[in-house]
Structure formats: structure tokens, C-alpha cells
Structure 1
């Protein structure tokens, strides 16, 4: 447990630690952002929108993470937006995302809020992909600030190289019935 988890008000002055084993080389956390190879992730979102990906190399290709089967030495940072936040009567916290999560292998323990410094205690939030081909249940459970809300931006490092097409939400499929409807020609 870190000092910022015990006293969340310190997040305004102390950046959350980024475990170098999971983030690309030259990653520097700030109070409200993460800089990867000189690129501020909040600026990346301003330019490209969400979801966004930024790939790099793991700092030590001989680390235990890099030796994970299929991991190689590549790592991708996925940046995505919360599109809806729901808290139900049983105390369950749910957030819908603007990206697909089924083709990625993220390190959820490194997921972090960027764009603002939250002073709320962390709570476990279930992240549900907001695309039509969403990954099946169970959805990832992530420890994030309890005041997470619609519009907030999150960043998480993912194992390997992830293409933007792998995380872009897919539009819902038209029903087979509507595809079979064709205009009737007058005879």
C-alpha cells in the first residue's frame, strides 16, 4: 500500500508510482498525467481522441514480464474514456468504457486516472467494454478513485503491441432480418 492510497489528498502533490516493469521505457508519472517517451498522454488524447494507443519497449527485456509467453519486449499504453458510471443499490461500482478489451492483455493493477488529481479513496470498479463485441463476463475489476465519473480518462499498460483497430469499438451488427429486406420492384 502506498502513501497516496492511505492519504489520497497527497495525490495533488505526489505522482502515483509507475512500476517500470510494466510501463514503456522513459515513462515519467506526473500528478495528473503520464509522460511516455516525451509524449503526454493527455495531449495524445487531445490530438487523437479516445481510445488511443502508444507503443514502446519494456525497459528490461530480460525482466519476468518480458519472459511471459508471447510478451516479447513490446508494451502498449491504452488510453480510454469512461462513458458511463453506475453505482447500484448493492454497492457495486460499474463503469462503461469507449473501447473494446477482448484483444488486449492489460496490467490492471497499473491502471490510472489521468487528466485530474483525485483525492477520493480508491474503490473497486468493474470496467465494462462499450462495444458490441464486448469481452464476456467476468469483466476486469480495477482499483480506481471512488469519484470516477463520465468523461474521465484512464491509462493502462498492455502486454505486447496493440493496434488501434483492436480496441476501437465495433458498431452493433444489423440484424439478419434487416439485411434481408430489399426494395420490392413494381411489376
Structure 2
């Protein structure tokens, strides 16, 4: 149990701690962002849309957008993410909110995929006020699909974000 989980209002002045060994070594948490090897995850999303991926030395961070918040058949709270969960084996247990500092108490959410809308075995502690449109980040190990080296962004998301833009 952390100080920010006991007193959630502290999240406005100190970030939730990072789990050692799960995040890339050069990851710095702020109250509203993660900076991985000098790359702001919020800025990465601005440039490449979601889902966005940044990999450093075979440990990466995926940033996803919450598409829906609800409950499953057993009345367990759930979040639906804009990522096919079969695409990437992230450490969903260390999922964290970025983009805003929430002072709401944390609760357990089951994780769902936008593609299947089926619940998975994955769950995460998130602020109880998480809502559609929020950004969440999670660490993962390995490389992104179709990549054998460190990458930043997600090729599919980057192509969608730049569709229709003229190159100079």
C-alpha cells in the first residue's frame, strides 16, 4: 500500500510510485505523465494517436485510450481499451492513469478489448473516476508486433494520424 493509495489527494503533488523492474530504467513518473528515456508519453500520443508504444531495451510502455467504462455480468467494474489485448502482453496490473491527476480512491477494474469486448483475466487498480477518453499506460516486455528493434509510436496509429496530410 502506498501513501497515494491511502490519501489519494496527494496524487496532485506526488506521483504514484512505479513498480521496480517493470518499467524501463529511465522512466520518470510525474503527477500527470510518464517520461521514458526523455520521451513524454503524452507527447507521443499527440504525435501518433493511440495505441502508442515506446520501447527501450526490450522493455516498453503502451499508452491506450479508455473507450468505455462499465460493468461486466458479475457487476465488476470494467474498462474497454482501444487495443486488441491479443496484440500485446502488457503488465496490466501496473496500468496507470496519465493526462490528469485523479484524487479518487482506487478500485479494481477488469480489462476489456475494444475488438472483442470480452473480459480477460487481466485487472488493474485505477482511480474510481476513470472515464471514456482517459489515457492509461502500462509496461510490457519484448517488441511490438512486426518489429525486431526498439520503436516509438505504433505504425498503424501513425498511418491513421497522418492520413490525408501532405508531406513537404
2:8 is aligned with 1:8: yes
Contact kept? 2:24, 2:60, Cα under 8 Å: yes
* 1:98 aligned residue: 82
Q: Cα 1:106–1:135, aligned 2, differ >3 Å: closer, same or farther?
A: farther
Q: Give TM-score scaled by structure 2 length.
A: 0.81
The offset of 1:104, in angstroms, is 2.2
Kindly report which structure 2 residues correspond to 1:1-187, keeping only aligned pairs within 5 A, or say none.
1-57=1-57, 74-87=58-71, 91-131=75-115, 134=116, 137-163=119-145, 164=154
* 1:63 aligned residue: none
Equivalent residue pairs, number:
150
Give structure 2 stretches of 5+ with no counterpart.
146-153, 158-168
Q: Give TM-score scaled by structure 1 length.
A: 0.73
Contact kept? 2:93, 2:123, Cα under 8 Å: no
Contact kept? 1:100, 1:166, Cα under 8 Å: no
SS at match of 1:103: coil
CA distances 1:54-89 after superposition (whole Å, capped 9, x unpaired): 0012xxxxxxxxxxxxxxxx1121100001111469
SS at match of 2:22: coil
* 2:166 aligned residue: none
Contact kept? 2:72, 2:119, Cα under 8 Å: no
Contact kept? 2:52, 2:62, Cα under 8 Å: yes
Provide the C-alpha distance between the structure 1 equivalents of 2:117 and 2:86, rounded to a whole number of angstroms. Answer: 5
> Structure 1 segments of 4 or more deviating over 6 A?
none
Contact kept? 1:82, 1:150, Cα under 8 Å: yes
Moved more, 105-114 or 31-40: 105-114
> Greater strand percent: which structure?
2
Give structure 1 stretches of 5+ with no counterpart.
58-73, 168-187
